[in-house]
Amino acid sequence: MTGNRLPRASHAEFTTDHRGRTTLLRGPEPPALLALYARGFLLTNRSEIQFVYRAEGLLQSIRMERQRTRGEQHDHALVSANPLVLPQGVTPREIDVLTLVALGLPNAEIAGRLGTSPRTVTTQIERLLHKLEQRGRGGLAAIAVDAGLLALPVTGGVEGVAPLAAVGLEQFAAALRTGRGPAAVPDTALASRHPIVIGTLAALTGIAADDGEEMVRGAALAIEEINANGGVGGRRLEHFVAGADLFDPASVAAAMAQLVEAQVDAITTNYISAENPFLLETAADYGRPFLHLDTFQQHVDLVEARPERYWMVYQTCPSEKYYALAFRRFLGELEASRRYDPANRRIAIVEMDSASARIAGEGFDRELAAIGWGVSARYAAPVRNTDWQKIARGIREAAPDVVLVAHYVPDEIAILHRLLVDGGFRGLVHYVYGASIPRFRDVLGTLSDGAIWSSVTSRMDSDSATRFHRNYVMRYRAEPGPSQASSAYDQIQLLAWSWARNGSTVPRGTCKVLREDVYHGLNGIYYFGGAGQSPLSYPDGTSDPTIGQVLVTSQIQGGKSVVLSPPLFGSMARLQLPGHKDQAPWAGLTAD
C-alpha cells in the first residue's frame, strides 16, 4: 500500500482482512490509510459503514461491508470507493463543519479546529440548515450519519467527541498503525504532548481471533474512558495494536517486535504467550510491564523462580491448575444439591493437544477417586480438524455422567456439542472456558442451552460492570463475553492506576505498585503479592473473596449464562435440565 490518494474521478473496490492483506478488485491501488481504516472497521463489529474519505482536497464516498467467504474462518472488509456527490449545494468545507457538528462539538471548538472564527462557523451552520432543510443541529447530525457524510480523518482528531461508529473506526485505525510512515495514521489522531503508549499484542487472525477482537475492544474502551477523564497525570494514552496468529510463531514474533520498536510504555496481551513462551524472554529483555492472561502455572512458576529476570511479567488471571480443583468441587456441589443422581460416577475427558489446555494432569484421577469418581475415557484433540465424529461416538459408548472438555476453539467444540446433543447423549457437558466465548452460542443457537462452562476470570456484578456492558454494546453492537473484554479493560486500568500512584511510567516503580497494592476491577480483585505475580483464585486458592478472583461455573440458559458455583456467587438450585427437542431430560437430573 504505497499510494497516498485515489484519482479524483476514480471508482475502486478492494478487500482487506485483519492482517492487512489487501486484494484489489477494480480501480487504482487504495491509499494506505484507507486500507488501515478497513482493518479498523473489522474491529468495530459493524456489518457496514459509510463515510467520506478526505485527503489532499479529495473527497470520496466510502462504503465498507463485512463479508465472509465460504470456507473461511474470519471476516474481511469489502471496500467500495466512489466520487462523492455533494447534496443540495453543500460545499467540501461545509462537509467538515457538518462532521464536527454531528460529533457534538460547539461552535467555538469547531472554529478552533478549522482555523476560523465562531461567527464564520455560525454562518456556515445556518447555510447548512437552509440547504438541508433542517431546524436544528440534531437534524444536521442525523443527516450526516444516515447519509454517510462524516468525513475522515476528523479534523482535530476524535478525542472527546461523540462515540459514533466512524469515531471507533478512526480510533482503531490509529491503534493499528505500523509506525513506519506518515500514511499509517492521521496526524490529527496523535497527541502533541508526550503521550503514554500502551501496546496490545492481539490474536486478530487464526483460531483465537474472536477473543483477540474482544480484547482490543475492551482495551480501547478503557483508554477512551481514561482520556476522557484527563489521562494519567495530564498525559493522554495512545493505543498501539499489533495483530498476530496465536499458532504462527513468526507472526507473533513480528508483532512483538513492532511493539518493542515503537518503544511502548507497557504491553498487554491475553494467552498468546502460553503458546509462544519466547515472548517472556523478549518481555524480560525489553524491561517494561508485560501483562498477560496465559492462565499457565508454568509461567507463574518461572516468574517465582527468577524474579530478577521476570520482575515485569504479570499474569492478570489465576492459573489453569484451578480448573481441576474447581471441577472436583463442582462434582461435590452437584451431588450435595440432590439434583443429580449419577449412574456410574464416571467422566470422559477431552483436552486440546496444547500445553496450556492440559487440565486433568498428574494426580487428577487420584483426586477424583478420593470423592468416588473415575475416568472412563480420555481424548486428545488437535487444535483444528479434529475427528469429532469419532470422539462423540466414543463418549456415547462410554456413557459417562459428565464430560470435561478443555478445548478453547468455539467453532470446534460447537461441532462436538451438536453431535452429542443430536446423538442423544444424556450426561452433563462441562467446558473449560471455551463455551463462554459468544461465538459458541452464535454457532449453536438454542442447542447451546444446558452447556456448562467455567472460567478462572469473569466479570462480576457491579455498577462499573453494568456501565462497561452498556458502553460495549453501544459502541460495538455486540454483547461482550464474560472474560476477555473486561479482562483487557482491567489490564489498561491497572496500568493507568499504577502509573498514577507511582507518579511516572518508570517500569520498576510501576511494577512495585502492582505488587504491593490491591486493585478492584471488573473481573474482581487483583492482588499480585505472591511470588509468581498472579492473582489468587477464590475459593480454591484462597478462602477470602476480598483478595481473590472468583472462579465461576455457569450454565447457558436461554442464551444467557447463569452462575451455579461457588455458593457465595451462585447456586446449584439454578441448574436447569438440559434437553433437546422431544427428548426426555438427561438421565440423573431431577426437577424441583
Domains 191-317+463-469+482-518 and 321-455+550-574 share a fold: yes
pLDDT at 71: 59
Helix runs in 463-530, H state only? 463-476, 484-502, 507-516
When pLDDT is cut at 50, 70 and 90, the band that residue 193 belongs to is low
What pLDDT, in 10s, does the model give residues 260-307? 999 999 999 999 999 999 999 999 999 999 999 999 999 999 999 999
Cell reading at 234: 495530564
**What sign results for the dihedral spanned by CA atoms 279, 281, 286, 287?**
positive
- State yes or no: pLDDT of 78 exceeds 70: yes
In the block, which residue shows the cell 508485560? 290
Residue 562's beta-bridge partner residues? Answer: 555
**Backbone phi and psi for residue 351, each to the nearest 5 degrees, phi listed first:** -125, 140
Q: How confident is the model at residue 1 (pLDDT cuts 50, 70, 90)?
A: very low
CA distance 574 to 555: 9
- The domains of the chain are located at 88-152, 191-317+463-469+482-518, 321-455+550-574
Q: What pLDDT digit, counting tens, does each position of 172-187 carry?
A: 998 987 543 333 344 4
* pLDDT at residue 192, as a whole number: 44
More confident residue, 390 or 165: 390
- Would the pLDDT of 86 be above 60? yes
Query: SS3 of 459, please?
Result: coil
User: Parallel, antiparallel, or unpaired for β 452-455 and 552-557?
Assistant: antiparallel
Q: Which cell is 587 given?
A: 438421565
Instruction: Output the pLDDT for position 468.
Output: 97
- In Å, the largest CA–CA distance within the chain is 82
Element (H, E) at 348: strand 346-352
The predicted model gives 92-102 an average pLDDT of 94
Q: Which CATH fold topology does 88-152 show? A: Arc Repressor Mutant, subunit A (1.10.10)
Task: Give the tens place of pLDDT for each residue, 524-554.
Answer: 999 999 889 999 999 999 999 999 999 999 9
Say what the pLDDT of residue 341 is. Answer: 79
CA-based torsion, 153, 155, 157, 161: positive or negative? negative
Per-residue pLDDT at 568 exceeds 50:
yes
Q: State the architecture of 191-317+463-469+482-518 in CATH terms.
A: 3-Layer(aba) Sandwich (3.40)
Predicted pLDDT of residue 72: 67
Q: Give residue-wise pLDDT tens across range 397-411.
A: 999 999 999 999 999
Segment among 18-22, 452-456, 586-590 with least mean pLDDT: 586-590
Task: Encode pLDDT of 142-161 as tens digits.
Answer: 999 999 999 999 999 888 78
- Mean pLDDT for the stretch of residues 235-251: 94
Assign 360 a pLDDT band (cuts: 50, 70, 90).
Answer: confident
CA distance 324 to 291: 24
Distance CA 495, CA 515 (A): 12
Question: Residue 573 pLDDT > 50, yes or no?
Answer: yes
Going from the C-alpha of 396 to that of each of 155, 340, 344, 422, the distances in angstroms are 62, 19, 14, 11
Please check the confidence at residue 55 and state whether its pLDDT lies above 80.
no
C-alpha 509 chain-centroid distance: 28
Amino acid at 409: V
| CA dist., res. 471 & res. 490, Å (int) | 15
Burial group, residue 191, by CB count within 10 angstroms (0-12, 13-18, 19+): middle
pLDDT exceeds 70 at position 388: yes
**Which one is the CATH code of 321-455+550-574: 1.20.200.10, 3.30.465.10, 3.40.190.10, 3.40.50.2300?**
3.40.50.2300
Cα 323 from Cα 431, distance rounded (Å): 10
Quick one: pLDDT at residue 6?
44
Encode pLDDT of 217-241 as tens digits.
999 999 999 998 999 999 999 999 9
pLDDT at 323 over 90: yes
Complete edge-to-edge strand list for the sheet that includes strand 196-205:
237-245, 196-205, 266-269, 290-292, 313-315
Q: What angle do CA 530, 532, 535 make, to 5 degrees?
A: 60
Sign of CA dihedral 53, 54, 56, 60: positive
Listing DSSP states for 240-263 in one string gives EEEEEETT-HHHHHHHHHHHHHTT
| DSSP assigned state of 383 | S
Q: How far is CA 430 from CA 12, 109, 491, 572, 585, in A?
A: 49, 55, 28, 14, 17
Q: So what's the pLDDT on residue 589?
A: 37
Q: According to the model, what pLDDT value does residue 70 have?
A: 62
- Indicate the average pLDDT of the chain: 89
User: How far apart, in whole angstroms, are the C-alpha atoms of residue 312 and residue 509?
Assistant: 10
Mean pLDDT of 501-525: 95
Residue 231 region by backbone torsions, left for phi larger than 0, else alpha for psi between -120 and 50, else beta: left
Can you tell me the distance from the alpha carbon of 109 to that of 157, in angstroms, rounded to the nearest whole number? Answer: 12
Q: Assign 188 a pLDDT band (cuts: 50, 70, 90).
A: very low
